[in-house]
Amino acid sequence: MEAKYFKRRKPFDFNPHLFDVGVLLSRNKSHADMQFLTKVVETPDDRHKNLYSYHLNHYLSHIDDASEYLFFTNLLHLVKNQIEIEKLKDKKKLSAGGKKWSEKNQAKYEVFLNTLKEHDKWGVMNTESERNKKLLGQVESLKKRLADTTVKHQYKINIKNGRKEHLIALFDEIMGVENPSTDNESDNFLSWTASKTWAKIIANHFLENEKEIPLETAVNYFDGTTKLNDSDRAFTIKLKQRGK
């Protein structure tokens, strides 16, 4: 993991910050990640959050293209990889002190993973079960939003005396209403380019003799695929007066 992710101790700094990584006389940046892992082991568990935030804030404030996601994922990879290294060590070949030290390191890294889990805004560390649960929650949320924004059949406005063509022609007339302001007199009052939006208004809010009006049918009228007849144009809308 590159040194840019960490706040390093300055050479000959005899009073560094508790969370700075590095040693007194070295300018070598290549071991910054390993030195950070040493800090994880040395830092009390209840201060792991502070350790994470300290280096994150330094990284974000000093690197132009920095992002917390990159910091988080690289740090997660570093810690998980080191845990695997500790697990793969042949404990039988270690001295009693070496075995104890390895077990302590692994335990501290595991605790630090819990800190990373708390900062996981992206679900990177989620188990498959957790991801599925999150997806199901999102689906339910989308269903609710759809239900809240969709007009149910019984609440739609019914065209009981006339045909859908009369309604579409009326909307076409509304689209052509002149601008009531004295400014930009050549402009229309409403936008007429959003043909599918107009079609959705009709399909989502109106019925023809208690029957649904398919969106595709409405779209065909508004995009010119299906033409309206003169007999369909039963209404005329005119500008009463123009003013500010």
Strand order in the sheet with 157-159: 157-159, 206-208, 211-212
Domain assignment present for 242: no
59 in the same domain as 13? yes
**34-56 mean pLDDT:** 97
165 in the same domain as 119? no
Domain assignment present for 241: no
7 in the same domain as 102? yes
123 in the same domain as 8? yes
| Amino acid 39: pLDDT | 97
Pick from 50, 70, 66: nearest CA to 121? 70
Q: What confidence tens digit (pLDDT) does each residue in 104-162 have? A: 999 999 999 999 999 999 999 988 898 889 889 999 999 888 887 788 999 999 999 99
24 in the same domain as 94? yes
Q: Centre a 10 Å sphere on the Cβ of residue 61 and count the other Cβ atoms it contains.
A: 9
Domain assignment present for 101: yes
DSSP classification of residue 226: S
Domain assignment present for 27: yes
Number of domains comprising the chain: 2
123 in the same domain as 7? yes
- 206-208/157-159 β-pairing: parallel
Range of the domain at 98: 3-127
183 in the same domain as 91? no
Instruction: Please report which confidence band the pLDDT of residue 244 belongs to, taking 50, 70 and 90 as the band edges.
Output: low
111 in the same domain as 12? yes
Is the pLDDT confidence value at 24 over 90? no
Q: What confidence tens digit (pLDDT) does each residue in 152-196 have? A: 999 999 999 999 999 999 999 998 888 887 666 667 888 777 789
Domain assignment present for 50: yes
Amino acid at 207: L
| Amino acid 41: pLDDT | 97
Q: What confidence tens digit (pLDDT) does each residue in 54-79 have? A: 999 999 999 999 999 999 999 999 99
188 in the same domain as 93? no
Q: What confidence tens digit (pLDDT) does each residue in 80-114 have? A: 999 999 999 998 899 999 999 999 999 999 999 99
Domain assignment present for 143: no
Is the pLDDT confidence value at 243 over 70? no
Q: Are 195 and 219 in contact, with CB atoms under 8 Å apart?
A: yes
Amino acid at 85: I
103 in the same domain as 40? yes
pTM: 0.59
Mean pLDDT taken over the chain: 91
199 in the same domain as 114? no
162 in the same domain as 114? no
Domain assignment present for 96: yes
- Joined together, the tokens standing for residue 191 give 């936008």
Helices 215-222 and 195-205: crossing angle, nearest 10°?
A: 140
DSSP letter string, 24-64: TT----TTHHHHHHHHHHHS-GGGHHHHHHHHHHHHHHH-T
Domain assignment present for 148: no
